[in-house]
């Protein structure tokens, strides 16, 4: 089977590529990174993945990439996903996430009309609804609170239209808090790097923001398994929450790290880390996904431990 991943160089993309290769797929990845000395088009093959240079908003290069990949399934992960940045430049977020998705759906429809397309959105699509309802089911109102959230709602609606009107085998997915090794710039990775610095004697401080926020954490390895399952068994035109249906606080995550750390530490509240705009609770209903046969394999404790081990190695490599 031939699989195309947009956003191949991202956190989920790297794990997904490995899983697809392990399943025997020929994997193609759309990337904006051009290797030295490479021209347009294919960017060589590394780790069993053929990387195709292109951009969702550059239609000719995107058309060439889809035609070269001739995919049986497409995993659309590429996006601008920084909420703060979406306020700073909403036009760029809309162009990339909405127009880019539209371009991709069009090119798949033209060059690979039989392909299954997994459109990856976000739990940010729920917005204000998340503060009022838990767990979140797929059919609840979408009330996004950021341009990024709006862009993902629009992407999901386009996905549905292309399935209903054009017969594309397109399925939309709303991931919740996907965590694990290799991810950067989230609370767990920040916590783990701080633990490693304490273990190495580089600092004795562990500053934290609010710890009462509740999230529906999903190990990236479980998330990848869910994406594969959806590509095989999901119903076109349907949306699936990618979640476990369980809430955990950042305080619980920190407690796990305290038990794993090789040196004791005590978190200190830092007023500078207060983010009052953060949603207090975002927890999904996983019933629709579980009906496809999804069952998470990794506990939160296992994910936290694996992530800490990753940063112990990664920090040592870079120091």
Query: Is the same domain home to 20 and 101?
Result: yes
Query: Is the same domain home to 115 and 130?
Result: yes
Give a yes or no: residue 186 inside a domain: yes
Query: Is the same domain home to 58 and 139?
Result: yes
Query: Is the same domain home to 128 and 254?
Result: no
Query: Is the same domain home to 235 and 274?
Result: no
Give a yes or no: residue 286 inside a domain: no
Mean pLDDT (the chain, rounded): 93
Give a yes or no: residue 90 inside a domain: yes
pLDDT band at 239 (very low <50, low <70, confident <90, very high): very high
Q: How far is CA 47 from the centre of its chain?
A: 21
Query: Is the same domain home to 90 and 56?
Result: yes
Decide if 307 contacts 179 (C-beta within 8 A). yes
pLDDT band at 249 (very low <50, low <70, confident <90, very high): very high
Average pLDDT over residues 79-94: 96
Query: Is the same domain home to 147 and 203?
Result: no
Query: Is the same domain home to 168 and 42?
Result: yes
Instruction: Give the CATH number for residue 187.
Output: 3.90.25.10
Could you tell me which residues come within 8 angstroms of residue 238 by beta carbon, excluding any fewer than 6 positions away?
Answer: 138, 171, 172, 288
Give a yes or no: residue 293 inside a domain: no
Query: Is the same domain home to 19 and 146?
Result: yes
Task: Kindly report the pTM of this predicted structure.
Answer: 0.93
Both structure tokens of 282 = 């975002």
Domain range for residue 147? 2-178+218-242
Residue 32 is predicted with a pLDDT of: 87
Query: Is the same domain home to 234 and 189?
Result: no
Q: Exposed, middle or buried, 110 (CB in 10 Å: 0-12/13-18/19+)?
A: exposed
Query: Is the same domain home to 155 and 257?
Result: no
| pLDDT tens column, 129-144 | 998 999 999 999 999 9
Give a yes or no: residue 184 inside a domain: yes
| pLDDT tens column, 30-49 | 998 765 334 334 444 557 89
């Amino acid at each position: 089977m031939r699989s195309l991943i947009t956003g191949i160089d991202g956190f989920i993309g790297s794990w997904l590529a490995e899983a697809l290769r392990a399943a025997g797929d020929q994997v193609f990845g759309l990337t904006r990174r051009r290797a030295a000395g490479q021209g347009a088009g294919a960017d060589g093959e590394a780790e069993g993945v053929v990387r195709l240079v292109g951009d969702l908003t550059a239609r000719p290069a995107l058309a060439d990439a889809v035609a070269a990949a001739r995919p049986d399934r497409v995993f659309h992960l590429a996006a601008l996903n920084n909420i703060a940045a979406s306020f700073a430049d909403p036009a760029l977020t809309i162009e990339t996430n909405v127009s880019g998705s539209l371009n991709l759906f069009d090119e798949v429809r033209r060059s690979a009309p039989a392909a299954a397309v997994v459109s990856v959105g976000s739990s940010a699509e729920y917005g204000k609804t998340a503060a009022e309802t838990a767990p979140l089911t797929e059919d609840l109102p979408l009330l996004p609170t950021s341009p990024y959230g709006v862009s993902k709602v629009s992407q999901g609606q386009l996905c549905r239209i292309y399935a209903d009107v054009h017969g594309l085998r397109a399925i939309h997915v709303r991931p919740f808090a996907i965590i694990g090794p290799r991810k950067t710039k989230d609370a767990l990775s920040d916590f783990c790097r701080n633990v490693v610095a304490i273990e190495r004697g580089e600092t004795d401080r562990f500053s934290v923001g609010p710890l009462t926020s509740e999230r529906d954490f999903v190990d990236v390895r479980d998330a990848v398994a869910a994406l594969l399952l959806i590509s095989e068994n999901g119903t076109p035109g349907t949306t699936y929450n990618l979640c476990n249906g369980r809430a955990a606080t950042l305080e619980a995550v920190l407690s796990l790290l305290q038990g794993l750390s090789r040196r004791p530490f005590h978190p200190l509240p830092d007023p500078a880390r207060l983010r009052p705009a953060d949603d207090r609770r975002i927890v999904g209903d996983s019933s629709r996904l579980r009906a496809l046969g999804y069952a998470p394999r990794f506990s939160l404790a296992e994910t936290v431990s694996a992530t800490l081990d990753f940063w112990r190695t990664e920090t040592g490599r870079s120091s």
